Structure 1
Amino acid sequence: MITDVEAATPALCRLQLGSELRQLRLNAGITGARVVKKLIWSPSKLTRLETGENSTVEPADAVALCSIYEADAETTARLRGYAAVTKTKRDWWLSPEYRPVIPPGLKAFLDLEATAVGLQNYQAEFVPGLLQTEAYVRAINQWGPQKPSDEDAGRIAAIRTKRQEVLSRPDSPLKFTAIINEAVLRRPVGEPPVMRDQLTHIVDVVESLPNVRVQVVPFRVGVHSGMDGSFVVIQFPDKLGLKPMVYLEGLVDAWVKRSDSDVERYAEAISDLQALAPGPKESLSMIKEAIKEH
Protein backbone atom coordinates (compact mmCIF):
# COMPACT_ATOMS: atom_id res chain seq x y z
CA MET A 1 0.00 0.00 0.00
CA ILE A 2 1.26 3.49 -0.84
CA THR A 3 1.61 5.52 2.35
CA ASP A 4 2.08 8.93 0.72
CA VAL A 5 -0.15 9.11 -2.33
CA GLU A 6 0.60 12.75 -3.13
CA ALA A 7 4.34 12.02 -3.38
CA ALA A 8 3.90 8.83 -5.42
CA THR A 9 4.64 8.60 -9.13
CA PRO A 10 1.79 8.02 -11.59
CA ALA A 11 3.36 4.70 -12.62
CA LEU A 12 3.33 3.48 -9.03
CA CYS A 13 -0.28 4.63 -8.55
CA ARG A 14 -1.42 2.90 -11.76
CA LEU A 15 0.14 -0.41 -10.69
CA GLN A 16 -1.11 -0.22 -7.13
CA LEU A 17 -4.60 0.83 -8.22
CA GLY A 18 -4.84 -2.02 -10.72
CA SER A 19 -3.56 -4.59 -8.24
CA GLU A 20 -5.97 -3.55 -5.49
CA LEU A 21 -8.98 -3.32 -7.80
CA ARG A 22 -8.33 -6.78 -9.18
CA GLN A 23 -7.99 -8.20 -5.68
CA LEU A 24 -11.23 -6.49 -4.63
CA ARG A 25 -13.02 -8.04 -7.61
CA LEU A 26 -11.68 -11.51 -6.86
CA ASN A 27 -12.55 -11.19 -3.18
CA ALA A 28 -16.08 -10.20 -4.15
CA GLY A 29 -16.36 -13.21 -6.46
CA ILE A 30 -17.32 -11.06 -9.44
CA THR A 31 -16.23 -11.89 -12.98
CA GLY A 32 -14.74 -9.32 -15.31
CA ALA A 33 -17.55 -10.01 -17.79
CA ARG A 34 -20.13 -9.02 -15.21
CA VAL A 35 -18.27 -5.79 -14.41
CA VAL A 36 -17.93 -4.62 -18.02
CA LYS A 37 -21.56 -5.45 -18.74
CA LYS A 38 -22.75 -3.42 -15.75
CA LEU A 39 -20.55 -0.39 -16.60
CA ILE A 40 -20.94 -0.74 -20.39
CA TRP A 41 -17.15 -0.96 -20.81
CA SER A 42 -15.08 -2.91 -23.29
CA PRO A 43 -13.34 -5.94 -21.74
CA SER A 44 -9.97 -4.44 -22.69
CA LYS A 45 -10.64 -1.34 -20.59
CA LEU A 46 -11.00 -3.38 -17.41
CA THR A 47 -7.98 -5.52 -18.30
CA ARG A 48 -5.79 -2.50 -18.92
CA LEU A 49 -6.95 -0.88 -15.70
CA GLU A 50 -6.25 -3.99 -13.63
CA THR A 51 -2.79 -4.42 -15.16
CA GLY A 52 -1.85 -0.76 -14.77
CA GLU A 53 -1.45 -0.17 -18.51
CA ASN A 54 -3.63 2.93 -18.87
CA SER A 55 -1.70 6.21 -18.88
CA THR A 56 -4.47 7.81 -16.82
CA VAL A 57 -7.42 6.50 -14.83
CA GLU A 58 -10.59 8.48 -14.24
CA PRO A 59 -11.24 8.79 -10.48
CA ALA A 60 -14.93 8.21 -11.23
CA ASP A 61 -14.06 4.83 -12.75
CA ALA A 62 -12.19 3.78 -9.62
CA VAL A 63 -15.14 4.85 -7.48
CA ALA A 64 -17.62 2.98 -9.70
CA LEU A 65 -15.62 -0.23 -9.38
CA CYS A 66 -15.32 0.17 -5.63
CA SER A 67 -19.09 0.51 -5.47
CA ILE A 68 -19.63 -2.72 -7.39
CA TYR A 69 -17.14 -4.53 -5.15
CA GLU A 70 -18.68 -3.00 -2.00
CA ALA A 71 -15.37 -1.58 -0.83
CA ASP A 72 -15.41 0.45 2.37
CA ALA A 73 -15.17 4.24 2.38
CA GLU A 74 -11.47 4.30 3.34
CA THR A 75 -10.48 1.94 0.52
CA THR A 76 -12.61 3.87 -1.98
CA ALA A 77 -11.01 7.17 -1.00
CA ARG A 78 -7.50 5.70 -1.28
CA LEU A 79 -8.08 4.20 -4.72
CA ARG A 80 -9.71 7.39 -5.92
CA GLY A 81 -6.56 9.16 -4.74
CA TYR A 82 -4.38 6.82 -6.80
CA ALA A 83 -6.47 7.57 -9.88
CA ALA A 84 -6.29 11.31 -9.23
CA VAL A 85 -2.48 11.17 -9.27
CA THR A 86 -2.54 9.64 -12.75
CA LYS A 87 -4.66 12.58 -13.90
CA THR A 88 -2.62 15.36 -12.30
CA LYS A 89 0.96 14.13 -12.77
CA ARG A 90 2.91 12.78 -15.71
CA ASP A 91 5.78 10.30 -15.77
CA TRP A 92 8.82 11.65 -17.61
CA TRP A 93 8.52 9.09 -20.43
CA LEU A 94 5.02 10.34 -21.27
CA SER A 95 6.18 13.90 -21.92
CA PRO A 96 5.81 15.31 -25.45
CA GLU A 97 9.60 15.11 -25.83
CA TYR A 98 9.78 11.32 -25.47
CA ARG A 99 6.31 9.96 -26.23
CA PRO A 100 6.73 9.87 -30.06
CA VAL A 101 9.46 7.20 -29.82
CA ILE A 102 8.03 5.03 -27.02
CA PRO A 103 5.91 2.12 -28.29
CA PRO A 104 3.21 0.67 -26.00
CA GLY A 105 5.32 -2.31 -24.97
CA LEU A 106 8.22 -0.14 -23.85
CA LYS A 107 5.83 2.21 -22.05
CA ALA A 108 4.50 -0.74 -20.05
CA PHE A 109 8.04 -1.77 -19.16
CA LEU A 110 9.03 1.74 -18.09
CA ASP A 111 6.05 1.77 -15.72
CA LEU A 112 7.34 -1.43 -14.14
CA GLU A 113 11.02 -0.49 -14.13
CA ALA A 114 10.39 2.83 -12.40
CA THR A 115 8.45 1.07 -9.64
CA ALA A 116 10.68 -2.00 -9.27
CA VAL A 117 13.03 -2.71 -6.40
CA GLY A 118 15.01 -5.26 -8.43
CA LEU A 119 15.61 -6.32 -12.05
CA GLN A 120 17.27 -9.52 -13.22
CA ASN A 121 18.10 -9.24 -16.91
CA TYR A 122 19.50 -11.89 -19.25
CA GLN A 123 20.73 -10.41 -22.52
CA ALA A 124 21.78 -12.59 -25.42
CA GLU A 125 22.77 -9.99 -28.03
CA PHE A 126 22.92 -6.46 -26.63
CA VAL A 127 24.39 -4.73 -23.63
CA PRO A 128 21.49 -4.34 -21.16
CA GLY A 129 19.71 -1.02 -21.58
CA LEU A 130 20.57 0.19 -18.07
CA LEU A 131 24.27 -0.15 -18.91
CA GLN A 132 24.33 1.24 -22.47
CA THR A 133 26.26 4.35 -23.45
CA GLU A 134 24.74 6.98 -25.71
CA ALA A 135 27.15 6.13 -28.55
CA TYR A 136 26.25 2.43 -28.30
CA VAL A 137 22.52 3.26 -28.46
CA ARG A 138 23.05 5.42 -31.53
CA ALA A 139 25.11 2.68 -33.20
CA ILE A 140 22.33 0.14 -32.61
CA ASN A 141 19.78 2.46 -34.19
CA GLN A 142 21.86 2.87 -37.34
CA TRP A 143 21.25 -0.80 -38.13
CA GLY A 144 18.33 -2.21 -40.09
CA PRO A 145 15.71 -0.80 -42.46
CA GLN A 146 13.73 1.13 -39.81
CA LYS A 147 16.42 3.67 -38.97
CA PRO A 148 15.02 6.60 -36.96
CA SER A 149 15.58 10.20 -37.96
CA ASP A 150 18.45 12.05 -36.30
CA GLU A 151 15.95 13.78 -34.02
CA ASP A 152 14.30 10.52 -32.97
CA ALA A 153 17.66 8.81 -32.55
CA GLY A 154 18.60 11.56 -30.11
CA ARG A 155 15.34 11.03 -28.22
CA ILE A 156 15.91 7.28 -28.00
CA ALA A 157 19.42 7.80 -26.65
CA ALA A 158 18.14 10.36 -24.13
CA ILE A 159 15.48 7.92 -22.91
CA ARG A 160 18.09 5.23 -22.37
CA THR A 161 20.28 7.63 -20.40
CA LYS A 162 17.35 8.92 -18.35
CA ARG A 163 16.29 5.37 -17.45
CA GLN A 164 19.68 4.71 -15.89
CA GLU A 165 18.93 7.14 -13.07
CA VAL A 166 17.11 4.29 -11.27
CA LEU A 167 20.52 2.77 -10.51
CA SER A 168 21.51 5.74 -8.38
CA ARG A 169 18.21 6.76 -6.80
CA PRO A 170 19.14 8.49 -3.53
CA ASP A 171 16.47 6.76 -1.45
CA SER A 172 16.27 3.26 -2.93
CA PRO A 173 18.62 2.46 -5.83
CA LEU A 174 17.44 -0.36 -8.06
CA LYS A 175 19.14 -3.69 -7.42
CA PHE A 176 20.21 -4.72 -10.92
CA THR A 177 21.57 -8.11 -11.93
CA ALA A 178 22.70 -8.41 -15.54
CA ILE A 179 23.68 -11.75 -17.07
CA ILE A 180 25.04 -11.37 -20.58
CA ASN A 181 26.07 -13.80 -23.27
CA GLU A 182 29.76 -13.64 -24.23
CA ALA A 183 28.62 -12.70 -27.76
CA VAL A 184 27.64 -9.28 -26.36
CA LEU A 185 31.31 -8.64 -25.57
CA ARG A 186 32.69 -9.95 -28.85
CA ARG A 187 30.29 -8.67 -31.52
CA PRO A 188 31.25 -5.15 -32.69
CA VAL A 189 28.52 -2.52 -32.45
CA GLY A 190 29.70 0.65 -34.14
CA GLU A 191 33.38 1.50 -34.50
CA PRO A 192 35.99 0.04 -32.10
CA PRO A 193 36.03 3.13 -29.85
CA VAL A 194 32.29 2.73 -29.29
CA MET A 195 32.74 -0.83 -28.05
CA ARG A 196 35.78 0.03 -25.94
CA ASP A 197 33.93 2.88 -24.26
CA GLN A 198 30.82 0.75 -23.81
CA LEU A 199 32.63 -2.12 -22.12
CA THR A 200 34.68 0.28 -20.02
CA HIS A 201 31.42 1.89 -18.89
CA ILE A 202 30.11 -1.49 -17.70
CA VAL A 203 33.26 -2.01 -15.63
CA ASP A 204 33.03 1.50 -14.17
CA VAL A 205 29.37 1.07 -13.19
CA VAL A 206 29.92 -2.31 -11.55
CA GLU A 207 32.96 -1.10 -9.64
CA SER A 208 31.23 2.06 -8.41
CA LEU A 209 27.68 0.85 -7.66
CA PRO A 210 27.30 -2.04 -5.21
CA ASN A 211 23.68 -2.55 -6.31
CA VAL A 212 24.80 -3.57 -9.83
CA ARG A 213 26.05 -7.10 -10.54
CA VAL A 214 27.19 -8.39 -13.94
CA GLN A 215 27.98 -11.96 -14.94
CA VAL A 216 29.04 -13.25 -18.37
CA VAL A 217 27.94 -16.62 -19.76
CA PRO A 218 31.00 -17.84 -21.71
CA PHE A 219 30.74 -19.79 -24.95
CA ARG A 220 32.51 -22.72 -23.34
CA VAL A 221 29.52 -23.61 -21.10
CA GLY A 222 27.57 -24.82 -24.12
CA VAL A 223 23.78 -25.16 -23.95
CA HIS A 224 22.09 -23.08 -21.24
CA SER A 225 18.64 -21.94 -20.10
CA GLY A 226 18.86 -18.50 -21.73
CA MET A 227 19.12 -19.74 -25.30
CA ASP A 228 15.46 -19.00 -26.06
CA GLY A 229 16.18 -15.28 -25.86
CA SER A 230 16.53 -12.25 -23.62
CA PHE A 231 14.19 -11.49 -20.72
CA VAL A 232 13.81 -9.42 -17.58
CA VAL A 233 12.44 -10.60 -14.22
CA ILE A 234 10.96 -7.61 -12.35
CA GLN A 235 10.56 -7.53 -8.56
CA PHE A 236 8.56 -4.99 -6.56
CA PRO A 237 8.70 -3.71 -2.98
CA ASP A 238 6.98 -6.09 -0.55
CA LYS A 239 4.74 -3.30 0.77
CA LEU A 240 3.01 -3.02 -2.62
CA GLY A 241 1.83 -6.62 -2.64
CA LEU A 242 2.71 -6.97 -6.33
CA LYS A 243 4.03 -10.32 -7.55
CA PRO A 244 7.13 -10.47 -9.77
CA MET A 245 6.59 -10.10 -13.53
CA VAL A 246 8.59 -10.90 -16.66
CA TYR A 247 9.21 -8.60 -19.61
CA LEU A 248 9.92 -10.02 -23.08
CA GLU A 249 10.81 -8.02 -26.16
CA GLY A 250 10.78 -9.14 -29.79
CA LEU A 251 11.48 -7.57 -33.15
CA VAL A 252 8.06 -5.93 -33.49
CA ASP A 253 6.35 -6.37 -30.13
CA ALA A 254 6.85 -6.70 -26.38
CA TRP A 255 4.98 -8.56 -23.64
CA VAL A 256 4.61 -8.52 -19.87
CA LYS A 257 4.05 -12.00 -18.40
CA ARG A 258 2.25 -12.12 -15.07
CA SER A 259 1.17 -15.74 -14.50
CA ASP A 260 2.87 -17.43 -11.55
CA SER A 261 3.97 -20.43 -13.63
CA ASP A 262 5.57 -18.28 -16.34
CA VAL A 263 7.37 -16.06 -13.85
CA GLU A 264 8.63 -19.10 -11.93
CA ARG A 265 10.17 -20.58 -15.09
CA TYR A 266 12.06 -17.40 -15.86
CA ALA A 267 13.16 -16.99 -12.25
CA GLU A 268 14.54 -20.54 -12.37
CA ALA A 269 16.35 -19.69 -15.60
CA ILE A 270 18.01 -16.71 -13.90
CA SER A 271 19.13 -18.94 -11.01
CA ASP A 272 20.50 -21.52 -13.45
CA LEU A 273 22.40 -18.86 -15.40
CA GLN A 274 23.86 -17.31 -12.26
CA ALA A 275 25.10 -20.72 -11.15
CA LEU A 276 26.47 -21.55 -14.59
CA ALA A 277 28.28 -18.26 -15.28
CA PRO A 278 31.57 -17.28 -13.63
CA GLY A 279 31.19 -14.95 -10.64
CA PRO A 280 31.26 -11.15 -10.91
CA LYS A 281 35.04 -10.89 -10.42
CA GLU A 282 35.92 -13.35 -13.18
CA SER A 283 33.20 -11.89 -15.40
CA LEU A 284 34.73 -8.41 -15.04
CA SER A 285 38.06 -9.89 -16.08
CA MET A 286 36.39 -11.26 -19.22
CA ILE A 287 35.00 -7.81 -19.99
CA LYS A 288 38.40 -6.17 -19.50
CA GLU A 289 39.97 -8.70 -21.88
CA ALA A 290 37.29 -7.94 -24.46
CA ILE A 291 38.12 -4.22 -24.19
CA LYS A 292 41.65 -4.99 -25.34
CA GLU A 293 40.35 -6.99 -28.33
CA HIS A 294 38.35 -4.00 -29.54
Structure 2
Amino acid sequence: MVSRRSPTARHRRLVAELNRLRKDSGLTRVEVAERIGSTDTTVWRYETGQTRPRPSDVSALTDVYGVTGEARDFLIQLAVEARRRDWWHRHRQAFKPGFDSYIGLEAEASLVRSYEPLVVPGLMQTEPYARAVVEATSVVQTPSTVEETVAVRISRQRLLHGPGDPIHLVAVLDEAVIRRRIGGGGIMTEQLEHLVHLGGLPNVEIRVLPFSAGAHPAMDGPFCLLSFPEPEDPDLLYLEQAASGLLPDAPEHVSRYASMFESLCAMALDQEASAAFIAQMARRFSTP
Protein backbone atom coordinates (compact mmCIF):
# COMPACT_ATOMS: atom_id res chain seq x y z
CA MET A 1 0.00 0.00 0.00
CA VAL A 2 1.40 3.36 -1.06
CA SER A 3 1.91 5.62 1.97
CA ARG A 4 2.13 8.85 -0.06
CA ARG A 5 -0.83 11.23 0.17
CA SER A 6 -1.61 13.99 -2.30
CA PRO A 7 -4.28 16.71 -1.83
CA THR A 8 -5.14 16.46 -5.53
CA ALA A 9 -5.66 12.70 -5.35
CA ARG A 10 -7.59 12.99 -2.07
CA HIS A 11 -9.86 15.57 -3.71
CA ARG A 12 -10.45 13.29 -6.69
CA ARG A 13 -11.50 10.49 -4.35
CA LEU A 14 -13.78 12.83 -2.38
CA VAL A 15 -15.51 14.01 -5.56
CA ALA A 16 -16.17 10.42 -6.60
CA GLU A 17 -17.57 9.53 -3.17
CA LEU A 18 -19.88 12.55 -3.03
CA ASN A 19 -21.26 11.75 -6.47
CA ARG A 20 -21.82 8.12 -5.54
CA LEU A 21 -23.53 8.95 -2.25
CA ARG A 22 -26.00 11.38 -3.79
CA LYS A 23 -26.90 9.01 -6.61
CA ASP A 24 -27.37 6.17 -4.12
CA SER A 25 -29.60 8.41 -2.01
CA GLY A 26 -31.93 9.16 -4.91
CA LEU A 27 -31.87 12.87 -4.07
CA THR A 28 -31.47 15.68 -6.59
CA ARG A 29 -28.90 18.42 -6.12
CA VAL A 30 -31.71 20.85 -5.33
CA GLU A 31 -32.99 18.57 -2.57
CA VAL A 32 -29.52 18.12 -1.11
CA ALA A 33 -28.90 21.88 -1.21
CA GLU A 34 -32.14 22.58 0.65
CA ARG A 35 -31.18 20.14 3.43
CA ILE A 36 -27.74 21.65 3.99
CA GLY A 37 -28.90 25.26 3.59
CA SER A 38 -26.98 25.90 0.38
CA THR A 39 -27.60 26.10 -3.37
CA ASP A 40 -27.73 23.44 -6.06
CA THR A 41 -24.87 25.27 -7.79
CA THR A 42 -22.67 24.75 -4.73
CA VAL A 43 -23.51 21.04 -4.63
CA TRP A 44 -22.74 20.84 -8.36
CA ARG A 45 -19.37 22.51 -7.78
CA TYR A 46 -18.56 19.95 -5.07
CA GLU A 47 -19.49 17.06 -7.34
CA THR A 48 -17.54 18.35 -10.35
CA GLY A 49 -14.44 19.29 -8.39
CA GLN A 50 -14.79 23.00 -9.07
CA THR A 51 -14.80 23.72 -5.31
CA ARG A 52 -13.09 21.83 -2.52
CA PRO A 53 -15.67 21.52 0.30
CA ARG A 54 -14.73 22.30 3.87
CA PRO A 55 -14.79 19.46 6.40
CA SER A 56 -17.91 21.05 7.93
CA ASP A 57 -19.61 20.96 4.51
CA VAL A 58 -18.80 17.27 4.13
CA SER A 59 -20.05 16.63 7.66
CA ALA A 60 -23.40 18.18 6.71
CA LEU A 61 -23.56 16.08 3.55
CA THR A 62 -22.89 12.87 5.47
CA ASP A 63 -25.86 13.72 7.69
CA VAL A 64 -28.06 14.04 4.60
CA TYR A 65 -26.80 10.78 3.14
CA GLY A 66 -26.97 8.89 6.44
CA VAL A 67 -23.26 8.11 6.55
CA THR A 68 -21.98 7.37 10.06
CA GLY A 69 -19.05 5.88 11.94
CA GLU A 70 -15.75 5.17 10.18
CA ALA A 71 -17.18 5.92 6.74
CA ARG A 72 -18.16 9.41 7.90
CA ASP A 73 -14.79 9.99 9.54
CA PHE A 74 -13.05 8.87 6.34
CA LEU A 75 -14.94 11.38 4.18
CA ILE A 76 -14.26 14.24 6.58
CA GLN A 77 -10.57 13.31 6.65
CA LEU A 78 -10.55 13.32 2.85
CA ALA A 79 -11.89 16.88 2.96
CA VAL A 80 -9.15 17.90 5.41
CA GLU A 81 -6.41 16.40 3.23
CA ALA A 82 -7.92 17.74 -0.01
CA ARG A 83 -7.70 21.34 1.24
CA ARG A 84 -3.99 21.16 1.96
CA ARG A 85 -1.50 22.52 -0.55
CA ASP A 86 0.74 20.27 -2.60
CA TRP A 87 4.50 20.93 -2.39
CA TRP A 88 4.46 22.27 -5.97
CA HIS A 89 1.65 24.79 -5.30
CA ARG A 90 3.97 27.78 -5.15
CA HIS A 91 5.34 26.87 -8.62
CA ARG A 92 1.97 26.48 -10.37
CA GLN A 93 2.33 29.68 -12.41
CA ALA A 94 5.19 28.04 -14.30
CA PHE A 95 3.04 25.08 -15.40
CA LYS A 96 0.96 24.70 -18.51
CA PRO A 97 -2.77 24.34 -17.75
CA GLY A 98 -3.61 20.83 -16.61
CA PHE A 99 -0.12 19.82 -15.56
CA ASP A 100 -0.62 20.91 -11.96
CA SER A 101 -3.46 18.40 -11.65
CA TYR A 102 -1.33 15.70 -13.22
CA ILE A 103 1.62 15.97 -10.85
CA GLY A 104 -0.74 16.12 -7.90
CA LEU A 105 -2.24 12.79 -9.00
CA GLU A 106 1.14 11.33 -9.93
CA ALA A 107 2.27 11.93 -6.35
CA GLU A 108 -0.13 9.27 -5.05
CA ALA A 109 0.06 6.81 -7.96
CA SER A 110 1.46 3.33 -7.48
CA LEU A 111 2.17 2.73 -11.18
CA VAL A 112 3.08 5.04 -14.06
CA ARG A 113 3.00 3.72 -17.62
CA SER A 114 4.55 6.18 -20.04
CA TYR A 115 5.09 6.23 -23.80
CA GLU A 116 7.42 8.88 -25.19
CA PRO A 117 8.30 9.28 -28.89
CA LEU A 118 10.67 12.28 -28.66
CA VAL A 119 12.20 12.94 -25.23
CA VAL A 120 13.10 11.10 -22.04
CA PRO A 121 10.14 11.25 -19.59
CA GLY A 122 10.48 13.91 -16.92
CA LEU A 123 10.77 11.38 -14.10
CA MET A 124 13.99 10.08 -15.67
CA GLN A 125 15.67 13.24 -16.95
CA THR A 126 19.02 14.45 -15.65
CA GLU A 127 19.13 18.11 -14.71
CA PRO A 128 21.23 19.26 -17.74
CA TYR A 129 19.01 17.28 -20.12
CA ALA A 130 15.86 18.69 -18.49
CA ARG A 131 17.20 22.23 -18.82
CA ALA A 132 17.98 21.70 -22.51
CA VAL A 133 14.48 20.34 -23.15
CA VAL A 134 12.75 23.16 -21.25
CA GLU A 135 14.81 25.83 -23.00
CA ALA A 136 14.00 24.35 -26.40
CA THR A 137 10.27 23.93 -25.82
CA SER A 138 9.49 26.94 -23.61
CA VAL A 139 10.43 29.75 -25.97
CA VAL A 140 8.37 32.37 -24.09
CA GLN A 141 9.69 31.59 -20.61
CA THR A 142 12.18 33.75 -18.75
CA PRO A 143 15.44 32.23 -17.49
CA SER A 144 14.08 32.19 -13.94
CA THR A 145 10.93 30.36 -15.03
CA VAL A 146 13.05 27.82 -16.90
CA GLU A 147 15.03 27.13 -13.75
CA GLU A 148 11.82 26.85 -11.73
CA THR A 149 10.38 24.33 -14.19
CA VAL A 150 13.58 22.29 -14.10
CA ALA A 151 13.63 22.32 -10.30
CA VAL A 152 10.06 21.01 -10.13
CA ARG A 153 10.88 18.28 -12.65
CA ILE A 154 13.88 17.11 -10.64
CA SER A 155 11.91 17.25 -7.39
CA ARG A 156 9.28 14.92 -8.85
CA GLN A 157 11.94 12.25 -9.23
CA ARG A 158 11.86 11.59 -5.49
CA LEU A 159 8.88 9.38 -6.35
CA LEU A 160 11.29 6.86 -7.86
CA HIS A 161 13.65 6.73 -4.88
CA GLY A 162 11.52 7.37 -1.80
CA PRO A 163 11.24 8.05 1.04
CA GLY A 164 8.22 5.82 1.47
CA ASP A 165 6.94 3.51 -1.23
CA PRO A 166 8.63 4.31 -4.57
CA ILE A 167 6.46 4.56 -7.62
CA HIS A 168 6.62 1.74 -10.18
CA LEU A 169 7.52 3.17 -13.58
CA VAL A 170 7.19 1.35 -16.90
CA ALA A 171 8.45 3.48 -19.80
CA VAL A 172 8.39 2.67 -23.49
CA LEU A 173 10.75 4.98 -25.36
CA ASP A 174 10.83 5.28 -29.12
CA GLU A 175 14.30 4.74 -30.58
CA ALA A 176 14.24 8.43 -31.56
CA VAL A 177 14.40 9.34 -27.86
CA ILE A 178 17.72 7.54 -27.56
CA ARG A 179 19.19 8.86 -30.79
CA ARG A 180 18.04 12.49 -30.70
CA ARG A 181 20.91 14.74 -29.60
CA ILE A 182 19.63 17.16 -26.97
CA GLY A 183 22.07 19.52 -25.29
CA GLY A 184 25.21 18.06 -26.84
CA GLY A 185 27.15 14.82 -26.66
CA GLY A 186 28.18 15.11 -23.02
CA ILE A 187 24.65 15.75 -21.83
CA MET A 188 23.35 12.86 -23.91
CA THR A 189 26.00 10.48 -22.59
CA GLU A 190 25.13 11.38 -19.01
CA GLN A 191 21.41 11.06 -19.71
CA LEU A 192 21.66 7.66 -21.37
CA GLU A 193 23.96 6.32 -18.66
CA HIS A 194 21.38 7.54 -16.14
CA LEU A 195 18.69 5.57 -17.98
CA VAL A 196 20.79 2.42 -17.76
CA HIS A 197 21.19 2.99 -14.03
CA LEU A 198 17.47 3.59 -13.52
CA GLY A 199 16.61 0.50 -15.54
CA GLY A 200 18.48 -1.55 -12.95
CA LEU A 201 16.16 -0.44 -10.15
CA PRO A 202 13.53 -3.00 -9.12
CA ASN A 203 10.71 -0.47 -9.58
CA VAL A 204 11.72 0.82 -13.03
CA GLU A 205 11.27 -0.91 -16.38
CA ILE A 206 12.57 0.73 -19.55
CA ARG A 207 11.77 -0.65 -23.00
CA VAL A 208 12.96 0.75 -26.34
CA LEU A 209 10.61 0.64 -29.32
CA PRO A 210 12.97 0.20 -32.30
CA PHE A 211 12.49 1.82 -35.68
CA SER A 212 12.33 -1.69 -37.11
CA ALA A 213 9.00 -2.21 -35.33
CA GLY A 214 7.42 0.00 -37.99
CA ALA A 215 3.95 1.47 -37.57
CA HIS A 216 2.36 1.15 -34.14
CA PRO A 217 -0.84 2.19 -32.28
CA ALA A 218 0.68 5.21 -30.52
CA MET A 219 1.86 7.15 -33.55
CA ASP A 220 -0.49 10.01 -32.60
CA GLY A 221 1.80 11.00 -29.74
CA PRO A 222 2.91 10.55 -26.12
CA PHE A 223 0.63 9.53 -23.28
CA CYS A 224 0.80 8.51 -19.66
CA LEU A 225 -1.37 6.20 -17.57
CA LEU A 226 -1.56 6.38 -13.78
CA SER A 227 -2.77 3.55 -11.55
CA PHE A 228 -3.52 3.94 -7.85
CA PRO A 229 -3.16 1.62 -4.85
CA GLU A 230 -6.82 1.75 -3.85
CA PRO A 231 -9.28 -0.08 -6.15
CA GLU A 232 -11.84 2.70 -5.68
CA ASP A 233 -9.54 5.06 -7.62
CA PRO A 234 -9.75 4.26 -11.34
CA ASP A 235 -6.79 4.54 -13.70
CA LEU A 236 -6.12 7.95 -15.18
CA LEU A 237 -4.99 9.05 -18.64
CA TYR A 238 -2.82 12.12 -19.26
CA LEU A 239 -2.20 13.63 -22.70
CA GLU A 240 0.25 16.51 -23.01
CA GLN A 241 0.19 19.16 -25.71
CA ALA A 242 2.35 22.20 -26.36
CA ALA A 243 0.05 24.61 -24.53
CA SER A 244 -1.87 22.37 -22.13
CA GLY A 245 -2.27 18.97 -20.55
CA LEU A 246 -5.50 16.96 -20.75
CA LEU A 247 -6.96 14.46 -18.30
CA PRO A 248 -9.75 12.65 -20.19
CA ASP A 249 -11.86 10.82 -17.64
CA ALA A 250 -14.02 8.63 -19.90
CA PRO A 251 -13.34 4.97 -19.00
CA GLU A 252 -13.33 3.96 -22.66
CA HIS A 253 -10.46 6.38 -23.37
CA VAL A 254 -8.40 4.98 -20.51
CA SER A 255 -9.11 1.42 -21.64
CA ARG A 256 -8.10 2.22 -25.21
CA TYR A 257 -4.76 3.67 -24.17
CA ALA A 258 -4.10 0.79 -21.78
CA SER A 259 -4.54 -1.61 -24.70
CA MET A 260 -2.24 0.57 -26.80
CA PHE A 261 0.43 0.40 -24.11
CA GLU A 262 0.23 -3.40 -23.99
CA SER A 263 0.75 -3.46 -27.77
CA LEU A 264 3.78 -1.18 -27.49
CA CYS A 265 5.34 -3.43 -24.83
CA ALA A 266 4.84 -6.42 -27.09
CA MET A 267 6.58 -4.63 -29.97
CA ALA A 268 9.45 -3.17 -27.91
CA LEU A 269 12.80 -4.73 -27.06
CA ASP A 270 12.94 -6.54 -23.74
CA GLN A 271 14.59 -4.86 -20.76
CA GLU A 272 18.00 -6.47 -21.27
CA ALA A 273 18.18 -5.66 -24.99
CA SER A 274 16.91 -2.13 -24.31
CA ALA A 275 19.62 -1.52 -21.71
CA ALA A 276 22.27 -2.81 -24.09
CA PHE A 277 21.08 -0.52 -26.87
CA ILE A 278 20.95 2.53 -24.58
CA ALA A 279 24.46 1.79 -23.30
CA GLN A 280 25.73 1.43 -26.87
CA MET A 281 24.29 4.82 -27.82
CA ALA A 282 25.79 6.37 -24.68
CA ARG A 283 29.22 5.24 -25.85
CA ARG A 284 28.61 6.70 -29.31
CA PHE A 285 27.66 10.09 -27.89
CA SER A 286 30.78 10.06 -25.72
CA THR A 287 33.02 9.64 -28.78
CA PRO A 288 34.34 12.98 -30.05
2:86 is the alignment partner of 1:91: yes
2:215 is the alignment partner of 1:218: no
The corresponding residue for 2:39 is 39
How many angstroms does 1:73 deviate by?
5.3
CA distance in 1, matches of 2:157, 2:278: 20
Runs of 4+ in 1 over 4 A off after TM superposition: 30-38
Q: Closer, same or farther in 2 for the Cα pair 1:76/1:194, shift >3 Å? A: same
The corresponding residue for 2:115 is 122
CA distance in 1, matches of 2:273, 2:5: 40
Q: Which amino acid aligns with 2:213?
A: V
Contact 1:32 1:46 in 2 (8 A): no
How many angstroms does 1:166 deviate by?
0.7
How many angstroms does 1:138 deviate by?
1.0
CA distance in 2, matches of 1:81, 1:261: 31
* More displaced 10-residue stretch of structure 1: 17-26 or 174-183: 17-26
CA distance in 2, matches of 1:154, 1:36: 46
Q: Sequence identity, in percent?
A: 30
Q: Which amino acid aligns with 1:109?
A: Y
The gaps in structure 2 that reach 5 residues or longer are none
Select which of 72, 75, 94 maps to 1:76: 72
The corresponding residue for 2:100 is 107
How many angstroms does 1:42 deviate by?
5.9
The corresponding residue for 1:28 is 25
The corresponding residue for 1:254 is 245
Q: CA RMSD in A?
A: 2.6
* More displaced 10-residue stretch of structure 1: 70-79 or 187-196: 70-79
The corresponding residue for 1:158 is 151
How many angstroms does 1:45 deviate by?
2.2
Select which of 163, 173, 196 maps to 1:180: 173
The gaps in structure 1 that reach 5 residues or longer are none
Q: Which amino acid aligns with 1:281?
A: E
SS in 1 for 2:71: helix
Contact 2:108 2:228 in 1 (8 A): yes
CA distance in 1, matches of 2:33, 2:280: 58
SS in 2 for 1:92: coil
Contact 2:236 2:247 in 1 (8 A): yes
**Residue-by-residue CA offset, 1:156-201 (whole Å, 9 max, x unaligned):** 1111111011111243211100001111111111122111111111
The corresponding residue for 1:199 is 192
State how many pairs are aligned.
Answer: 282
SS in 2 for 1:148: coil
Q: Which amino acid aligns with 1:175?
A: H
* More displaced 10-residue stretch of structure 1: 33-42 or 61-70: 33-42
Q: Which amino acid aligns with 2:12?
A: L
Superposition TM-score, scaled by structure 2 size: 0.88
Q: Closer, same or farther in 2 for the Cα pair 1:150/1:111, shift >3 Å? A: same
**Residue-by-residue CA offset, 1:45-71 (whole Å, 9 max, x unaligned):** 23542xxx76x5422332343344343
Q: Which amino acid aligns with 1:41?
A: T
CA distance in 2, matches of 1:157, 1:29: 48
